[in-house]
Amino acid sequence: MTSLTTTAATGRPIDDLLAGYAAGTLAPPLRSLVAAHLALKPENRAYVAALEGLGGIAIEDTPPCAIANRDAKLAAIFAAAEQPVRSVKPPECAIVPAPLAQFLGRPLADVPWRRRLPGIREFHVKGAGEAEAVLYWINPGRVMPSHTHDGSEVTLVLRGGFSDVTGHFRRGDIAIADAELDHRPRADEDEDCICFAVTDAPLRLTGTVGRIVQRFFGH
């Protein structure tokens, strides 16, 4: 399974994820997730393009703990960020950006949602390999069952937003949860929340309700 921490050791999981994308080391579901993120957040394309440009220097020749080199690298990235990015397309207006729609293999209107809990629907995408790729549709204000993960969980918000102990995430944002995090994501009150989540391993529900409904999530 492709790890999130294979490349540039910047310390922030999101940077590692973008670096993995730039280096071409992400598994297909994560690659689609990041491509969709970049469609929704064009400002990060320059960052990724800079990482691609740095290529071998950034990833292979820089000692992981060389802070001075890291600063130089970041300076180069920010300088590059001010340059126009090649092949920039207009932002996608659809809820599901094209790179992700391609991975899903169907438009959102044709997704065969399954209702797992009141106000929460999900669709497990085939072809995710060892990872688990799931679309969630959460009604306004609904709370996901409390859970942890055996590995990483990377979530891209496609519509609306949600909050958990790590922050508030809106359309285009990526939330990254590791195995340490026990959280209960809550959808914003004003809108349905649609998310695409990729996990290394199935969720483990933790609360009292979670233990009761575990069987509904089990496969």
Task: Give CA–CA dist 37/52, Å, rounded.
Answer: 17
Residues 19, 104, 108, 177: which binds Zn ion (CB under 5 A)?
Answer: 177
Cα–Cα distances in angstroms (integers) from residue 15 to residues 23, 48, 116, 143, 174, in the given order: 12, 9, 33, 28, 11
Least distance between Zn ion and beta carbon 158 (Å): 16
Binding segment for Zn ion (CB under 5 A), chosen from 26-34, 86-94, 125-133, 152-160, is: 152-160
Q: Nearer Cβ to Zn ion, position 38 or 177?
A: 177
Shortest gap between Cβ of 157 and Zn ion (angstroms)? 13
Burial (Cβ within 10 Å: 0-12, 13-18, ≥19) of residue 47:
buried
Distance CA 19, CA 21 (A): 5
**What's phi and psi for 32, nearest 5 deg?**
-65, -40
Q: Measured from the CB atom, is 46 or 195 closer to Zn ion?
A: 195
CB of residue 40 vs Zn ion: minimum separation in angstroms? 20
State the pairing for strand pair 174-177/193-199. unpaired
- In the block, tokens 């519509």 appear at 159
- Minimum distance from CB of 153 to Zn ion (Å)? 4
Minimum gap (Å) between residue 44 Cβ and Zn ion: 22
* Residue 174 binds to Zn ion (criterion: CB under 5 A): no
CB of 86 to Zn ion, least distance (A): 35
Token code pair at residue 114: 């399954």
Size of the site for Zn ion (CB under 5 A): 2
Nearer to Zn ion, 153 or 173 (CB): 153
The piece of 25-33, 101-109, 111-119, 170-178 that touches Zn ion (CB under 5 A) is: 170-178
Helix (H, G, I), strand (E, B) or coil at 159: strand
How far apart, in Å, do the first and last CA atoms of the chain sit?
20
Q: Out of 16, 122, 153, 200, name the contact with Zn ion by CB under 5 A.
A: 153
Helix (H, G, I), strand (E, B), or coil: what is residue 53? helix
- Return residues touching Zn ion (CB under 5 A): 153, 177
